[in-house]
Amino acid sequence: MNQRTEATNLERGRVLAARVETFVREQIIPFERDPRQGAHGPNDDLVTELRNMARSAGLLTPNILDDGTHLSHAETALVLRAAGLSPLGPVALNVAAPDEGNMYLLRHVASPAQKALFLQPMIDGRLRSAFFMTEPAEDNGAGSDPSMMQTTAHRDGDDWVINGRKAFITGADGAGVGILMAKSEQGTTMFLVPLPDPAIRIERVMNTLDSSTPGGHSVISIEGLRVQASQILGTSGEGFKYAQIRLAPARLTHCMRWLGACIRAQEIATSYAVRRRAFGQALIDHEGVGFMLADNKIDLKQAELMIDWCAGVLDGGAQGTVESSMTKVAVSEALFRVVDRCVQVMGGTGVTRDTVVEQIFREVRAFRIYDGPTEVHKWSLARKIKNEAMKETPR
């Protein structure tokens, strides 16, 4: 991309992000206390109402253009950061996980028939999806190590029959389509499964720290699920390759949304610290408090720069596996420090549900685990460092 095109496109992203920010601040934040949300996220009634508002504002699924192409990753960074200013923003705008990453994957891998059946209704914000990869720890199934996958897919005539269990499946409860990963003789394969299906049973919706995603996170059992060959996403045996297509951009969009949320937490904590007084002065004038807010400002800027760097790598056409891994670690760890300090600055109020800071704290804690726990990314980076070092001629 030449410099002029890049500047023009970023300007488009900036304009869109400004509209999204106004929409989220003025129209979505007032719903944060809406009783139609609980431990397992906002209910369908609230999601529909918020999406209708976004549709009316011309801001539903703003990252996907009318011709089906996506904004550049750099533009997406601006728009999703604005969407993330409220935990309800991504859901309202239809840019939340797992749908946003699933739409990206379907655009790149699904057949025209699969796109018409599933992708278009998702873009229209009328169909939710789920990504079925992780399996229960008690079965020693796929977790940090996806190669431990135990769910199987066997050919039976023209059909495939799938059996297994899955865990932590975000949004499975209420989803209209699932991308299901299973081990077949050809290798790991992705299947597109219309939901609900009697062969896919929600054992339980798990009680988790976080609470922003519709449907929560479920443990699922799959018993004798029969699917046709036309339901394979792409080619059989290529599941891990397709997971890579989704991986880097999806990691990065999580960083974008949670950066927005932590910018908001910092705003709330700052407002508290300039108004609240102790020992004869505003809290912010106590060095211990001022330093926490200053450290936050530094961490937020570093997170923003890492995201922009990685977005540039992806926009340059690279897969960005290493860059997105580094960015995911740096941003999730930095944002957790930021929101933890926000809670601390706000004293007792920080741990109450009087402000959204408490929810952001819970959400960002979980972010250090999904899309690869910090330690797994570091372990993988360390292996690359070792391999490169072993190639070098000793001096």
Ligand X SMILES: Cc1cc2nc3c(=O)[nH]c(=O)nc-3n(C[C@H](O)[C@H](O)[C@H](O)COP(=O)(O)OP(=O)(O)OC[C@H]3O[C@@H](n4cnc5c(N)ncnc54)[C@H](O)[C@@H]3O)c2cc1C
By the criterion CB under 6 A, which residues form the site for ligand X? 98, 131-134, 137, 143-144, 168-170, 208, 210, 217, 366, 369-370, 373, 375-376, 379
We find the least distance from the C-beta atom of residue 103 to ligand X, in angstroms, to be 14
We find the least distance from the C-beta atom of residue 393 to ligand X, in angstroms, to be 29
DSSP state of 393: P
> 3-class DSSP state for residue 126?
coil
**Which residue is closest to ligand X by CB?**
143
We find the least distance from the C-beta atom of residue 225 to ligand X, in angstroms, to be 16
Dihedral, 144, 84, 82, 53 alpha carbons, nearest 10: 130
- Bin 272: left if φ > 0, else alpha if -120 < ψ < 50, else beta: alpha
Nearer to ligand X, 176 or 373 (CB): 373
Nearer to ligand X, 63 or 212 (CB): 212
Dihedral sign from CA coordinates of 263, 261, 126, 314: positive
We find the least distance from the C-beta atom of residue 97 to ligand X, in angstroms, to be 7
Nearer to ligand X, 116 or 137 (CB): 137
Spatial separation of the C-alpha atoms in residues 378 and 154, rounded to whole Å: 35
Spatial separation of the C-alpha atoms in residues 24 and 353, rounded to whole Å: 20
> 3-class DSSP state for residue 323?
helix
Nearer to ligand X, 143 or 237 (CB): 143
Nearer to ligand X, 291 or 379 (CB): 379
We find the least distance from the C-beta atom of residue 83 to ligand X, in angstroms, to be 19
We find the least distance from the C-beta atom of residue 99 to ligand X, in angstroms, to be 11
Nearer to ligand X, 13 or 174 (CB): 174
Residue with tokens 């550049």: 72
Nearer to ligand X, 27 or 189 (CB): 189
Spatial separation of the C-alpha atoms in residues 20 and 80, rounded to whole Å: 9
Spatial separation of the C-alpha atoms in residues 96 and 104, rounded to whole Å: 12
Dihedral, 224, 225, 231, 232 alpha carbons, nearest 10: -50
We find the least distance from the C-beta atom of residue 290 to ligand X, in angstroms, to be 33
We find the least distance from the C-beta atom of residue 241 to ligand X, in angstroms, to be 17
The candidate with the shortest Cα–Cα distance to 86, out of 212, 209, 251, 170, is 212
Nearer to ligand X, 119 or 205 (CB): 205
- Bin 317: left if φ > 0, else alpha if -120 < ψ < 50, else beta: left
